[in-house]
Chains A and B, each alone.
Chain A
Amino acid sequence: MTRRVNFRADLHIHTCLSPCADLYMTPCRIVEKASSLGLNIIAICDHNSVENAEVTKKLAKEKGINALPGMEVTSSEEAHILGIFGDIDSAKRLQDIVYENLQAVENDKKAFDYQVIVNEKDEVLGFNKRLLIGSTRLSVEKVVELIHHFGGLAIASHIDREVFGIIGQLGFIPPDLRLDALELSRNISTEEARRKFKEYSHIPWIKSSDAHYLPDIGKASTSFFMNHSTFEELCLTLKGIDGRQVILY
């Protein structure tokens, strides 16, 4: 049997593009922090946007980290679903549809913070004026369908959080919803989650930080025992193909 390597992943990190994230969450600093922690794979998942993902991917590559482009989509029921992709073009296609379906309200900088788009030197390129914190008109079923349509992984965010977690919003996970994984937040131990969510043990679980501040990166992470640190391997590992394994911390 092939010897699997332990790749440590934090698949839910916000940047300064998310209005609720710290302005210090710039691609440079995120990559630096991830590198210092020895993370092998990260995913940039801002609210309803991927506009800082490409630059992060580029910077991360120089440090040997695979930074996957992703997005935390808000469904019409206000459940958060992560869409994580192997390439930026697929992520942007989802973004187009998400933008079309996002509430048509401008971001109010008095109520929420700046939504900053930056370059690889952390210089400000512009501000996203959409209300990224708002919800889309897309149902959870539609969100998952779209993510799959564009070749991504659909993961229910922080299922242990009552508000914005799918179980809190919808009471239970619709049995026909084809989620690739469920994410536990850093606020719940794996043991507690095993007791609390045992009816969902047939779906793979991951743990990620949902970092909005630099010190939070890597505070929760998942180990993927697989061959390479690629998106394709990640997909195979979530399916448990050929003895690949997911281990939660």
Chain B
Amino acid sequence: MKLYEIVDTLSLEVKTASSYLTKEVTGGYVSDLLSDVMANSKEGNIWITIQTHQNIVAVAALKDLSGIILVNNRMPDPEALKNAESQGIPILVSSLPAFELVGKLYILGLRC
């Protein structure tokens, strides 16, 4: 599944790296502990979190994640915006809480 399909279907707001939405999404991972994401997420995963600190960009880049979805309408910190733009990491924002968003992603066919 392409990242832009998820963006369209779930009406996500694209905050950064809009030219990188053709990335293939291999699965999903949900966590707000960045150490856990570093240990357990897989390449191509879309990452769902409430963390907005600039370190999310570094973690996504390190793990080659396809993008980051911030839930509950959380907005990325200014440094995170800047770094995500320059590193080509899409940050997407949803008004839904994590539970609902992940439910919808699961229905779309995404798995771990």
A163 interface residue (CB < 8 Å to B): yes
CB-contacts of B17-61 with A (<8 A) = 32-38, 51-55, 58-59
Q: Does A174 contact B55, Cβ atoms closer than 8 Å?
A: yes
Which residues of the other chain, B, contact A77 by a CB distance below 8 angstroms? 51, 53
Q: Does A162 contact B33, Cβ atoms closer than 8 Å?
A: yes
B40 CB, min distance to chain A CBs, angstroms: 12
Q: Does A171 contact B35, Cβ atoms closer than 8 Å?
A: yes
Which residue on chain B has the smallest CB distance to residue A75?
Answer: B53
Known: A171-B38, A171-B59, A172-B58. A139 touches B33 (CB 8 A): no
Q: Does B55 contact A170, Cβ atoms closer than 8 Å?
A: yes
Which residues of the other chain, A, contact B55 by a CB distance below 8 angstroms? 170-172, 174
A169 interface residue (CB < 8 Å to B): yes
Which residues of the other chain, B, contact A140 by a CB distance below 8 angstroms? 53
A232 CB, min distance to chain B CBs, angstroms: 32
Q: Does B38 contact A139, Cβ atoms closer than 8 Å?
A: no
Q: Does A171 contact B54, Cβ atoms closer than 8 Å?
A: no
A28 interface residue (CB < 8 Å to B): no
Count residues of chain A with CB under 8 A from any CB of chain B: 14
Which residues of the other chain, B, contact A163 by a CB distance below 8 angstroms? 33
B100 interface residue (CB < 8 Å to A): no
CB-contacts of A138-178 with B (<8 A) = 139-140, 162-163, 167-172, 174
B77 interface residue (CB < 8 Å to A): yes
Which residues of the other chain, B, contact A168 by a CB distance below 8 angstroms? 33-36
CB-contacts of B49-86 with A (<8 A) = 51-55, 58-59, 77
Known: A77-B53, A139-B53, A140-B53. A170 touches B34 (CB 8 A): yes
Q: Does B77 contact A139, Cβ atoms closer than 8 Å?
A: yes
Q: Does B35 contact A162, Cβ atoms closer than 8 Å?
A: yes
Which residue on chain A has the smallest CB distance to residue B62?
Answer: A171
In the complex, what distance in Å separates the CA atom of A167 from the CA atom of B34?
Answer: 8
Known: A77-B53, A140-B53, A162-B35. A171 touches B77 (CB 8 A): no
In order of increasing CB-CB distance, the 6 nearest A-B pairs are: A171-B34, A170-B55, A168-B35, A171-B59, A77-B53, A171-B38
Other A-B pairs, 7, CB within 8 Å; known A167-B35, A168-B35, A171-B58:
A78-B32, A140-B53, A162-B36, A168-B36, A170-B34, A170-B55, A171-B38
Where the two chains meet, the residues of A that have a C-beta atom closer than 8 Å to any C-beta of B are 76-78, 139-140, 162-163, 167-172, 174
Q: List 27 A-B contacts (CB under 8 A).
A: A76-B52, A77-B51, A77-B53, A78-B32, A139-B53, A139-B77, A140-B53, A162-B35, A162-B36, A167-B35, A168-B33, A168-B34, A168-B35, A169-B33, A169-B34, A169-B35, A169-B51, A170-B34, A170-B51, A170-B55, A171-B34, A171-B35, A171-B37, A171-B38, A171-B59, A172-B55, A174-B55
